[in-house]
Structure 1
Protein backbone atom coordinates (compact mmCIF):
# COMPACT_ATOMS: atom_id res chain seq x y z
CA UNK A 1 0.00 0.00 0.00
CA UNK A 2 1.28 3.47 -0.90
CA UNK A 3 0.05 6.48 1.06
CA UNK A 4 0.80 9.92 -0.29
CA UNK A 5 0.12 13.45 0.94
CA UNK A 6 -1.00 15.13 -2.27
CA UNK A 7 -0.27 18.57 -0.81
CA UNK A 8 3.45 17.79 -1.04
CA UNK A 9 3.26 17.98 -4.83
CA UNK A 10 1.36 21.26 -4.78
CA UNK A 11 3.63 22.84 -2.18
CA UNK A 12 6.84 21.85 -3.94
CA UNK A 13 5.48 23.14 -7.25
CA UNK A 14 4.49 26.44 -5.62
CA UNK A 15 7.87 26.78 -3.91
CA UNK A 16 9.79 26.22 -7.15
CA UNK A 17 7.50 28.56 -9.06
CA UNK A 18 7.87 31.32 -6.48
CA UNK A 19 11.66 30.99 -6.25
CA UNK A 20 11.99 30.99 -10.05
CA UNK A 21 9.79 34.08 -10.39
CA UNK A 22 11.72 35.96 -7.72
CA UNK A 23 15.00 34.96 -9.37
CA UNK A 24 13.88 36.94 -12.41
CA UNK A 25 12.79 40.02 -10.42
CA UNK A 26 15.67 39.86 -7.89
CA UNK A 27 14.36 41.98 -4.97
CA UNK A 28 17.02 43.06 -2.45
CA UNK A 29 15.87 40.59 0.22
CA UNK A 30 16.01 37.60 -2.16
CA UNK A 31 19.51 36.35 -1.33
CA UNK A 32 19.43 32.65 -2.25
CA UNK A 33 17.52 30.14 -4.36
CA UNK A 34 19.43 26.94 -3.60
CA UNK A 35 17.88 23.51 -3.10
CA UNK A 36 18.30 23.66 0.68
CA UNK A 37 16.39 26.95 0.96
CA UNK A 38 13.63 25.55 -1.24
CA UNK A 39 13.34 22.41 0.89
CA UNK A 40 13.29 24.45 4.11
CA UNK A 41 10.49 26.59 2.66
CA UNK A 42 8.49 23.53 1.61
CA UNK A 43 8.88 22.01 5.09
CA UNK A 44 7.73 25.31 6.66
CA UNK A 45 4.57 25.29 4.55
CA UNK A 46 3.74 21.59 4.98
CA UNK A 47 4.06 21.85 8.76
CA UNK A 48 1.30 24.48 8.72
CA UNK A 49 -1.18 22.67 6.48
CA UNK A 50 -3.45 19.76 7.27
CA UNK A 51 -2.27 16.86 5.09
CA UNK A 52 -4.48 15.33 2.40
CA UNK A 53 -3.62 11.66 2.08
CA UNK A 54 -4.63 9.46 -0.84
CA UNK A 55 -4.18 5.76 -1.55
CA UNK A 56 -5.89 5.52 -4.94
CA UNK A 57 -6.91 7.36 -8.09
CA UNK A 58 -10.41 7.70 -6.66
CA UNK A 59 -8.96 9.50 -3.68
CA UNK A 60 -7.09 11.85 -5.97
CA UNK A 61 -10.29 12.65 -7.86
CA UNK A 62 -12.07 13.41 -4.59
CA UNK A 63 -9.30 15.72 -3.38
CA UNK A 64 -9.15 17.60 -6.68
CA UNK A 65 -12.90 18.15 -6.57
CA UNK A 66 -12.58 20.15 -3.35
CA UNK A 67 -12.05 23.93 -3.18
CA UNK A 68 -8.93 23.87 -5.30
CA UNK A 69 -8.56 27.62 -5.83
CA UNK A 70 -8.69 28.49 -2.11
CA UNK A 71 -6.13 25.81 -1.30
CA UNK A 72 -3.78 27.22 -3.94
CA UNK A 73 -4.16 30.73 -2.50
CA UNK A 74 -3.40 29.46 1.01
CA UNK A 75 -0.36 27.53 -0.22
CA UNK A 76 1.05 30.46 -2.19
CA UNK A 77 0.63 32.81 0.78
CA UNK A 78 2.41 30.38 3.12
CA UNK A 79 5.19 29.85 0.59
CA UNK A 80 5.94 33.58 0.49
CA UNK A 81 5.81 33.76 4.29
CA UNK A 82 8.08 30.76 4.69
CA UNK A 83 10.48 31.88 1.99
CA UNK A 84 11.11 35.21 3.73
CA UNK A 85 11.65 33.51 7.09
CA UNK A 86 14.08 30.98 5.59
CA UNK A 87 16.13 33.66 3.82
CA UNK A 88 16.15 35.83 6.95
CA UNK A 89 17.33 33.02 9.22
CA UNK A 90 19.76 30.98 7.13
CA UNK A 91 20.93 27.76 8.77
CA UNK A 92 24.49 27.78 10.18
CA UNK A 93 25.48 24.98 7.76
CA UNK A 94 23.84 26.58 4.72
CA UNK A 95 27.12 27.34 2.95
CA UNK A 96 28.42 23.78 3.41
CA UNK A 97 25.66 22.00 1.48
CA UNK A 98 28.01 21.23 -1.40
CA UNK A 99 30.56 19.69 0.95
CA UNK A 100 28.63 16.44 1.46
CA UNK A 101 30.60 13.53 0.08
CA UNK A 102 29.38 10.72 -2.13
CA UNK A 103 27.09 8.23 -0.45
CA UNK A 104 28.39 4.82 0.58
CA UNK A 105 27.42 2.09 -1.89
CA UNK A 106 28.81 -1.07 -0.29
CA UNK A 107 28.10 -2.88 3.00
CA UNK A 108 28.05 -0.59 6.03
CA UNK A 109 27.15 -0.28 9.66
CA UNK A 110 23.94 1.79 9.76
CA UNK A 111 23.49 3.75 12.96
CA UNK A 112 20.06 4.51 14.44
CA UNK A 113 18.89 7.97 15.34
CA UNK A 114 20.12 8.78 18.84
CA UNK A 115 17.33 10.66 20.62
CA UNK A 116 17.41 12.07 24.13
CA UNK A 117 16.51 14.93 26.47
CA UNK A 118 18.63 17.14 28.74
CA UNK A 119 16.91 18.28 31.94
CA UNK A 120 17.59 20.35 35.04
CA UNK A 121 18.46 17.90 37.82
CA UNK A 122 16.52 19.89 40.43
CA UNK A 123 13.41 21.13 38.61
CA UNK A 124 13.31 18.37 35.96
CA UNK A 125 12.55 21.07 33.39
CA UNK A 126 14.24 20.79 29.97
CA UNK A 127 17.42 22.83 29.51
CA UNK A 128 17.52 25.10 26.47
CA UNK A 129 21.17 26.19 26.26
CA UNK A 130 23.12 22.93 26.49
CA UNK A 131 25.86 22.04 24.01
CA UNK A 132 26.15 18.30 23.30
CA UNK A 133 28.99 16.47 21.55
CA UNK A 134 28.76 12.82 20.43
CA UNK A 135 31.96 10.79 20.07
CA UNK A 136 32.49 7.25 18.79
CA UNK A 137 35.47 5.21 19.90
CA UNK A 138 37.09 8.40 21.20
CA UNK A 139 36.58 10.49 18.03
CA UNK A 140 33.80 13.05 17.36
CA UNK A 141 31.19 11.39 15.15
CA UNK A 142 30.69 12.45 11.56
CA UNK A 143 27.03 13.07 10.86
CA UNK A 144 25.01 11.69 7.96
CA UNK A 145 25.29 15.03 6.13
CA UNK A 146 25.72 18.77 6.69
CA UNK A 147 22.18 19.20 8.03
CA UNK A 148 23.02 17.34 11.24
CA UNK A 149 25.25 19.24 13.65
CA UNK A 150 27.83 17.75 16.02
CA UNK A 151 28.22 19.33 18.50
CA UNK A 152 24.61 20.46 18.61
CA UNK A 153 23.24 23.35 20.64
CA UNK A 154 19.79 23.18 22.19
CA UNK A 155 17.35 26.07 21.93
CA UNK A 156 14.07 26.94 23.63
CA UNK A 157 12.24 25.45 20.63
CA UNK A 158 13.74 21.98 21.10
CA UNK A 159 12.51 21.63 24.70
CA UNK A 160 15.72 19.92 25.79
CA UNK A 161 15.60 17.30 23.05
CA UNK A 162 18.56 16.41 20.82
CA UNK A 163 18.97 14.04 17.89
CA UNK A 164 22.15 12.69 16.31
CA UNK A 165 22.41 10.61 13.15
CA UNK A 166 25.87 9.16 12.60
CA UNK A 167 27.19 8.62 9.10
CA UNK A 168 27.24 4.93 7.95
CA UNK A 169 30.61 3.25 8.41
CA UNK A 170 31.85 1.12 5.49
CA UNK A 171 32.81 -2.49 6.15
CA UNK A 172 34.14 -5.33 3.97
CA UNK A 173 32.02 -8.16 5.36
CA UNK A 174 28.24 -7.52 5.13
CA UNK A 175 27.64 -9.93 8.03
CA UNK A 176 30.23 -8.45 10.39
CA UNK A 177 29.22 -7.68 13.98
CA UNK A 178 30.90 -4.89 15.95
CA UNK A 179 30.37 -3.17 19.28
CA UNK A 180 30.73 0.62 19.17
CA UNK A 181 31.52 2.76 22.19
CA UNK A 182 29.81 6.17 22.29
CA UNK A 183 30.27 9.14 24.60
CA UNK A 184 27.99 12.16 25.10
CA UNK A 185 29.58 15.28 26.58
CA UNK A 186 27.07 17.88 27.80
CA UNK A 187 27.73 21.39 29.02
CA UNK A 188 25.57 24.43 29.71
CA UNK A 189 26.28 27.82 31.23
CA UNK A 190 25.64 27.76 34.96
CA UNK A 191 25.65 23.96 35.17
CA UNK A 192 28.25 21.32 35.95
CA UNK A 193 29.30 19.45 32.78
CA UNK A 194 28.45 15.77 32.54
CA UNK A 195 29.49 12.76 30.46
CA UNK A 196 27.37 9.76 29.51
CA UNK A 197 28.73 6.63 27.79
CA UNK A 198 26.99 3.71 26.16
CA UNK A 199 27.81 0.72 23.94
CA UNK A 200 25.91 -0.31 20.83
CA UNK A 201 26.37 -3.68 19.07
CA UNK A 202 25.55 -3.58 15.35
CA UNK A 203 25.39 -6.04 12.48
CA UNK A 204 26.51 -4.74 9.10
CA UNK A 205 23.94 -4.12 6.36
CA UNK A 206 24.28 -4.57 2.61
CA UNK A 207 23.45 -0.94 1.86
CA UNK A 208 23.46 2.44 3.60
CA UNK A 209 20.26 4.08 4.78
CA UNK A 210 19.82 7.75 3.97
CA UNK A 211 16.20 8.30 4.98
CA UNK A 212 15.67 8.96 8.71
CA UNK A 213 13.15 6.83 10.55
CA UNK A 214 12.04 7.13 14.16
CA UNK A 215 11.34 3.39 14.06
CA UNK A 216 15.08 2.83 13.69
CA UNK A 217 16.05 4.91 16.72
CA UNK A 218 17.72 4.51 20.09
CA UNK A 219 16.07 6.36 22.98
CA UNK A 220 18.73 7.47 25.42
CA UNK A 221 17.69 7.90 29.04
CA UNK A 222 17.05 11.46 30.20
CA UNK A 223 20.26 13.16 31.28
CA UNK A 224 20.32 15.70 34.12
CA UNK A 225 22.54 18.71 34.70
CA UNK A 226 22.99 20.28 38.12
CA UNK A 227 23.70 23.91 38.76
CA UNK A 228 27.32 24.75 39.41
CA UNK A 229 28.17 25.85 42.90
CA UNK A 230 29.13 29.49 43.13
CA UNK A 231 32.62 30.15 44.41
CA UNK A 232 32.69 32.19 47.62
CA UNK A 233 33.58 35.86 47.17
CA UNK A 234 36.48 37.02 49.34
CA UNK A 235 36.08 40.36 51.02
Structure 2
Protein backbone atom coordinates (compact mmCIF):
# COMPACT_ATOMS: atom_id res chain seq x y z
CA UNK A 1 0.00 0.00 0.00
CA UNK A 2 1.31 3.42 -0.96
CA UNK A 3 0.03 6.28 1.19
CA UNK A 4 0.92 9.81 0.14
CA UNK A 5 0.20 13.29 1.45
CA UNK A 6 -1.07 15.04 -1.68
CA UNK A 7 -0.28 18.45 -0.20
CA UNK A 8 3.45 17.74 -0.47
CA UNK A 9 3.32 17.88 -4.27
CA UNK A 10 1.11 20.91 -4.34
CA UNK A 11 3.14 22.86 -1.79
CA UNK A 12 6.43 22.14 -3.60
CA UNK A 13 4.95 23.40 -6.86
CA UNK A 14 3.55 26.53 -5.25
CA UNK A 15 6.80 27.20 -3.36
CA UNK A 16 8.73 27.19 -6.63
CA UNK A 17 6.12 29.42 -8.28
CA UNK A 18 6.25 31.90 -5.41
CA UNK A 19 10.05 31.97 -5.32
CA UNK A 20 10.07 32.76 -9.04
CA UNK A 21 7.49 35.51 -8.61
CA UNK A 22 9.11 37.08 -5.55
CA UNK A 23 12.57 36.90 -7.10
CA UNK A 24 11.32 39.03 -10.00
CA UNK A 25 9.87 41.55 -7.53
CA UNK A 26 13.08 41.46 -5.43
CA UNK A 27 11.75 42.88 -2.14
CA UNK A 28 14.22 43.97 0.55
CA UNK A 29 13.60 40.91 2.73
CA UNK A 30 14.35 38.41 -0.08
CA UNK A 31 17.93 37.22 0.44
CA UNK A 32 18.31 33.75 -1.09
CA UNK A 33 16.85 31.56 -3.84
CA UNK A 34 18.73 28.29 -3.26
CA UNK A 35 17.11 24.85 -3.28
CA UNK A 36 17.69 24.36 0.45
CA UNK A 37 15.78 27.56 1.26
CA UNK A 38 12.92 26.37 -0.93
CA UNK A 39 12.84 23.00 0.84
CA UNK A 40 12.95 24.72 4.24
CA UNK A 41 10.01 26.88 3.19
CA UNK A 42 8.06 23.85 1.96
CA UNK A 43 8.70 22.06 5.26
CA UNK A 44 7.53 25.14 7.18
CA UNK A 45 4.27 25.23 5.21
CA UNK A 46 3.59 21.49 5.45
CA UNK A 47 4.10 21.59 9.22
CA UNK A 48 1.35 24.22 9.40
CA UNK A 49 -1.17 22.32 7.27
CA UNK A 50 -3.16 19.20 8.20
CA UNK A 51 -2.06 16.37 5.86
CA UNK A 52 -4.39 15.04 3.18
CA UNK A 53 -3.59 11.43 2.35
CA UNK A 54 -4.44 9.42 -0.74
CA UNK A 55 -3.90 5.74 -1.56
CA UNK A 56 -4.76 5.66 -5.26
CA UNK A 57 -5.11 7.66 -8.45
CA UNK A 58 -8.84 7.83 -7.78
CA UNK A 59 -8.06 9.44 -4.44
CA UNK A 60 -5.94 12.02 -6.22
CA UNK A 61 -8.82 12.91 -8.56
CA UNK A 62 -11.19 13.23 -5.62
CA UNK A 63 -8.75 15.44 -3.74
CA UNK A 64 -8.14 17.78 -6.66
CA UNK A 65 -11.89 18.12 -7.18
CA UNK A 66 -12.34 19.27 -3.59
CA UNK A 67 -9.52 21.78 -3.45
CA UNK A 68 -11.12 25.13 -2.70
CA UNK A 69 -10.00 28.69 -3.29
CA UNK A 70 -9.58 29.33 0.43
CA UNK A 71 -6.98 26.58 0.69
CA UNK A 72 -5.04 28.11 -2.19
CA UNK A 73 -5.05 31.47 -0.42
CA UNK A 74 -3.96 29.85 2.86
CA UNK A 75 -1.10 27.98 1.17
CA UNK A 76 0.16 31.12 -0.59
CA UNK A 77 0.02 33.11 2.66
CA UNK A 78 1.97 30.41 4.52
CA UNK A 79 4.55 30.23 1.74
CA UNK A 80 5.26 33.97 1.93
CA UNK A 81 5.40 33.73 5.72
CA UNK A 82 7.81 30.80 5.47
CA UNK A 83 9.97 32.54 2.86
CA UNK A 84 10.38 35.55 5.14
CA UNK A 85 11.35 33.40 8.12
CA UNK A 86 13.84 31.37 6.09
CA UNK A 87 15.34 34.50 4.50
CA UNK A 88 15.77 36.05 7.96
CA UNK A 89 17.67 33.02 9.24
CA UNK A 90 20.29 32.29 6.59
CA UNK A 91 22.57 29.37 7.35
CA UNK A 92 26.31 29.52 6.67
CA UNK A 93 26.18 26.77 4.01
CA UNK A 94 24.47 28.85 1.32
CA UNK A 95 27.66 29.43 -0.61
CA UNK A 96 28.44 25.73 -0.78
CA UNK A 97 26.10 23.35 -2.55
CA UNK A 98 28.30 20.29 -3.17
CA UNK A 99 27.66 17.30 -0.90
CA UNK A 100 30.88 16.13 0.69
CA UNK A 101 29.95 12.43 0.64
CA UNK A 102 31.02 12.35 -3.03
CA UNK A 103 34.61 12.16 -1.81
CA UNK A 104 33.96 8.84 -0.06
CA UNK A 105 34.00 5.58 -1.96
CA UNK A 106 30.86 3.45 -2.03
CA UNK A 107 32.28 1.00 0.45
CA UNK A 108 33.25 -0.45 2.72
CA UNK A 109 32.55 2.54 4.98
CA UNK A 110 31.76 3.46 8.55
CA UNK A 111 28.41 5.25 8.68
CA UNK A 112 28.00 7.49 11.68
CA UNK A 113 24.64 7.86 13.43
CA UNK A 114 22.95 11.12 14.35
CA UNK A 115 24.38 12.67 17.49
CA UNK A 116 21.61 14.43 19.40
CA UNK A 117 22.06 16.38 22.62
CA UNK A 118 20.82 19.29 24.70
CA UNK A 119 22.55 22.15 26.52
CA UNK A 120 21.06 24.08 29.42
CA UNK A 121 21.93 26.77 31.92
CA UNK A 122 22.93 24.86 35.06
CA UNK A 123 21.34 27.44 37.36
CA UNK A 124 18.02 28.05 35.59
CA UNK A 125 17.72 24.86 33.50
CA UNK A 126 16.79 27.04 30.55
CA UNK A 127 18.35 26.70 27.05
CA UNK A 128 21.47 28.84 26.47
CA UNK A 129 20.88 30.96 23.39
CA UNK A 130 24.04 31.66 21.38
CA UNK A 131 26.06 28.76 22.80
CA UNK A 132 28.61 27.46 20.26
CA UNK A 133 28.94 23.68 20.11
CA UNK A 134 31.71 21.90 18.23
CA UNK A 135 32.35 18.21 17.56
CA UNK A 136 35.91 17.00 17.04
CA UNK A 137 37.98 13.84 16.82
CA UNK A 138 41.75 13.46 17.17
CA UNK A 139 42.13 17.22 17.61
CA UNK A 140 40.27 18.24 14.43
CA UNK A 141 36.72 19.36 13.78
CA UNK A 142 34.61 16.57 12.31
CA UNK A 143 33.46 17.04 8.73
CA UNK A 144 29.70 16.80 8.40
CA UNK A 145 27.91 14.63 5.86
CA UNK A 146 27.00 17.61 3.67
CA UNK A 147 26.80 21.39 3.54
CA UNK A 148 23.47 21.61 5.38
CA UNK A 149 25.07 20.41 8.64
CA UNK A 150 27.35 22.90 10.37
CA UNK A 151 30.22 22.34 12.79
CA UNK A 152 30.46 24.29 15.04
CA UNK A 153 26.75 24.88 15.43
CA UNK A 154 25.19 27.76 17.35
CA UNK A 155 22.06 27.40 19.44
CA UNK A 156 19.15 29.72 18.72
CA UNK A 157 15.90 30.32 20.57
CA UNK A 158 14.14 28.00 18.12
CA UNK A 159 16.26 24.95 18.97
CA UNK A 160 15.37 25.04 22.69
CA UNK A 161 18.81 23.85 23.69
CA UNK A 162 18.87 20.94 21.25
CA UNK A 163 21.76 20.34 18.84
CA UNK A 164 22.50 17.65 16.25
CA UNK A 165 25.52 16.45 14.30
CA UNK A 166 25.82 13.98 11.44
CA UNK A 167 29.42 13.08 10.65
CA UNK A 168 30.58 12.28 7.13
CA UNK A 169 31.10 8.54 6.48
CA UNK A 170 34.68 7.29 6.75
CA UNK A 171 36.41 4.70 4.59
CA UNK A 172 37.03 1.29 6.11
CA UNK A 173 39.66 -1.30 5.22
CA UNK A 174 37.32 -4.27 5.06
CA UNK A 175 33.64 -5.11 5.23
CA UNK A 176 32.30 -5.82 8.75
CA UNK A 177 35.37 -4.19 10.28
CA UNK A 178 34.77 -3.04 13.86
CA UNK A 179 36.34 0.15 15.17
CA UNK A 180 36.01 2.36 18.23
CA UNK A 181 35.61 6.10 17.61
CA UNK A 182 36.16 8.77 20.25
CA UNK A 183 34.57 12.20 19.94
CA UNK A 184 34.83 15.42 21.88
CA UNK A 185 32.07 17.98 22.32
CA UNK A 186 33.12 21.49 23.35
CA UNK A 187 30.56 24.10 24.36
CA UNK A 188 31.34 27.81 24.65
CA UNK A 189 28.98 30.62 25.61
CA UNK A 190 29.60 34.18 26.74
CA UNK A 191 29.43 34.45 30.53
CA UNK A 192 29.73 30.69 31.08
CA UNK A 193 32.58 28.28 31.75
CA UNK A 194 33.52 26.12 28.76
CA UNK A 195 32.29 22.53 28.93
CA UNK A 196 34.11 19.58 27.34
CA UNK A 197 32.53 16.15 27.06
CA UNK A 198 34.03 13.04 25.44
CA UNK A 199 32.31 9.83 24.39
CA UNK A 200 33.11 6.64 22.47
CA UNK A 201 30.99 4.68 20.00
CA UNK A 202 31.75 1.33 18.33
CA UNK A 203 30.89 0.99 14.63
CA UNK A 204 30.93 -1.84 12.12
CA UNK A 205 31.64 -1.07 8.47
CA UNK A 206 29.10 -1.78 5.75
CA UNK A 207 29.24 -1.87 1.96
CA UNK A 208 27.42 1.35 1.12
CA UNK A 209 26.96 4.93 2.31
CA UNK A 210 23.75 5.67 4.18
CA UNK A 211 22.38 8.98 2.90
CA UNK A 212 18.92 8.91 4.44
CA UNK A 213 18.50 10.11 8.05
CA UNK A 214 17.64 7.42 10.58
CA UNK A 215 16.57 8.88 13.91
CA UNK A 216 15.80 5.42 15.30
CA UNK A 217 19.50 4.56 15.48
CA UNK A 218 20.64 7.98 16.68
CA UNK A 219 23.03 8.40 19.62
CA UNK A 220 21.60 10.48 22.47
CA UNK A 221 24.29 12.50 24.23
CA UNK A 222 23.67 13.09 27.90
CA UNK A 223 22.28 16.53 28.76
CA UNK A 224 25.07 19.03 29.38
CA UNK A 225 24.92 22.10 31.66
CA UNK A 226 26.74 25.42 31.55
CA UNK A 227 27.47 27.37 34.69
CA UNK A 228 28.21 31.11 34.93
CA UNK A 229 31.87 32.07 34.97
CA UNK A 230 33.09 32.78 38.49
CA UNK A 231 33.99 36.42 39.08
Q: Provide the residue aligned with 2:190 in structure 1.
A: 189
Task: Show the 5 A alignment for 1:60-209.
Answer: 60-98=60-98, 100=100, 102=102, 104=104, 105-209=106-210
TM-score between the two structures when normalised by the length of structure 1: 0.87
Taking a change above 3 Å as real, the CA distance of residues 173 and 160 of structure 1, as seen in their structure-2 partners, is: same
Look up the SS of the partner of 1:117 in the other structure.
strand
For residues 125-158 of structure 1, give each alpha carbon's deviation from its aligned partner in whole angstroms, at most 9, with x where no partner exists. 2222211111123321001111111111111221
Given that residues 101 and 168 in structure 2 are in contact (C-alpha distance below 8 angstroms), is that contact kept between their aligned partners in structure 1? no
Q: Provide the residue aligned with 2:26 in structure 1.
A: 27
TM-score between the two structures when normalised by the length of structure 2: 0.88
Q: Does 1:51 align with 2:51?
A: yes
Q: Provide the residue aligned with 1:210 in structure 2.
A: 211
Gapped regions of structure 2 (runs ≥ 5): none
For residues 44-67 of structure 1, give each alpha carbon's deviation from its aligned partner in whole angstroms, at most 9, with x where no partner exists. 211221222334445445533434
Shift of 1:101: 5.6
Taking a change above 3 Å as real, the CA distance of residues 183 and 48 of structure 1, as seen in their structure-2 partners, is: same
Taking a change above 3 Å as real, the CA distance of residues 31 and 149 of structure 1, as seen in their structure-2 partners, is: closer
CA distance in 1 between counterparts of 2:35 and 2:196 reads 37
Q: Provide the residue aligned with 2:10 in structure 1.
A: 10
Given that residues 137 and 180 in structure 1 are in contact (C-alpha distance below 8 angstroms), is that contact kept between their aligned partners in structure 2? no
Gapped regions of structure 1 (runs ≥ 5): 231-235
CA distance in 1 between counterparts of 2:99 and 2:112 reads 21
Number of corresponding residues: 229
CA distance in 2 between counterparts of 1:166 and 1:39 reads 22
Q: Does 1:223 align with 2:229?
A: no
CA distance in 2 between counterparts of 1:95 and 1:168 reads 22
Look up the SS of the partner of 1:199 in the other structure.
strand
